[in-house]
């Protein structure tokens, strides 16, 4: 009796473990007619990356991959849409702005006083 209970508990635990292992992996689906995969990690400074307005929201270009926010979370396009490809091919990173002189507070002008007559 005891060994039958132990075997049943072991079988139940093994079936739960197998069920968990079956769900692990990249979930792929389609967004706007293009195959995508769920982004496991989203870059911290993604808002500072080049972006293009694409079908209702912005797509961000990070290290040659397009990140796109959806209701299910961030996704990465597996197949690059033509609109995004055109932007990527014409995008040029602008040089970083360096001021010529050190910035300071504006100087105060001389005060004009009102003198009644």
| Domain-wise residue ranges, the chain | 27-95
Q: Which two tokens stand for residue 57?
A: 């929201």
Task: Report residue 35's pLDDT band, with 50, 70 and 90 as the boundaries.
Answer: very high
- pLDDT for the residue numbered 53: 93
pLDDT at residue 101, rounded to an integer: 64
Work out the percent of the chain whose per-residue pLDDT is above 90.
Answer: 29
Q: How confident is the model at residue 1 (pLDDT cuts 50, 70, 90)?
A: low
Query: Rounded to 5 degrees, what angle do the CA atoms 82, 87, 91 make?
Result: 155
Question: What's the Cα-to-Cα distance from 87 to each of 36, 58, 60, 61, 91, rounded to whole Å?
Answer: 19, 13, 11, 10, 6
Q: Residues 66-108: pLDDT tens digits?
A: 999 998 899 999 999 999 998 888 877 666 655 566 666 666 6
Prediction pTM value: 0.56
**Residue 32 or 4, more confident:** 32
């Amino acid at each position: 009796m005891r060994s039958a209970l132990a075997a049943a508990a072991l079988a139940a635990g093994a079936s739960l473990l197998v069920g968990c292992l079956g769900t692990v992996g990249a979930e792929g689906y389609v967004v706007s007619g293009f195959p995508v995969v769920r982004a496991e990690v989203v870059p911290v400074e993604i808002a500072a990356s080049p972006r293009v307005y694409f079908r209702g929201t912005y797509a961000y270009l990070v290290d040659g991959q397009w990140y796109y926010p959806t209701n299910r979370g961030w996704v990465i396009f597996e197949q690059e849409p033509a609109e995004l490809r055109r932007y990527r091919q014409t995008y040029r990173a602008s040089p970083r702005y360096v001021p010529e002189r050190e910035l300071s507070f504006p100087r105060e002008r001389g005060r004009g006083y009102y003198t009644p007559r």
